[in-house]
């Protein structure tokens, strides 16, 4: 539930946008909700499991969702491909402390 639903939201929103069912703004809103959902899921999971990457993503993803919301609202402007590239960098980067230091906090 924590990761599956947001992943499905992202894929469905992308397909709906590609089929001209959803606007660019609508797609952005769904993506922001998906990233926020994943972040809250990571935060809750991090509290119970104690994994370092869960705690990092649980803090950074909700903040990143705010950045995405600012893009939807045109307060800032960047390409959504950059948004997803940054998401992947954050996700992979959150595992670096586990690989180099410790897995549980």
Average of pLDDT values for 30-55? Answer: 95
Query: What DSSP letter does each residue of 25-86 carry, written as one string?
Result: HHHHHHHHHHHHHHHHHHHHHHHHH-BHHHHHHHHHHHHHHHHHHHHHTTSS---HHHHHHH
The pLDDT confidence band at residue 105, using thresholds 50, 70 and 90, is confident
Q: Measured between alpha carbons, how far is residue 2 from residues 51, 72, 101 in Å? A: 15, 24, 26
* Mean pLDDT taken over the chain: 95
* CA angle, 64 then 59 then 98, to 5°: 110
CA–CA gap between residue 102 and residue 2 (Å, rounded): 23
Residue 2 has pLDDT above 80, yes or no: no
Q: Is the pLDDT of residue 1 over 90?
A: no
Task: Tell me what pLDDT residue 102 has.
Answer: 86
pLDDT at 39 over 80: yes
d(CA 25, CA 11): 15
């Amino acid at each position: 539930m924590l990761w599956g639903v947001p992943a499905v939201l992202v894929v469905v929103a992308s397909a709906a946008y590609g089929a001209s069912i959803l606007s660019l703004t609508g797609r952005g809103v769904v993506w922001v909700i998906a990233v926020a959902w994943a972040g809250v899921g990571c935060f809750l999971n991090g509290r119970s499991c104690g994994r370092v990457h869960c705690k990092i993503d649980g803090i950074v993803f909700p903040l990143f969702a705010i950045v995405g919301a600012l893009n939807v609202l045109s307060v800032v402007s960047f390409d959504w491909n950059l948004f997803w590239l940054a998401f992947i960098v954050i996700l992979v980067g959150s595992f670096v402390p586990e690989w180099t230091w410790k897995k549980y906090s």
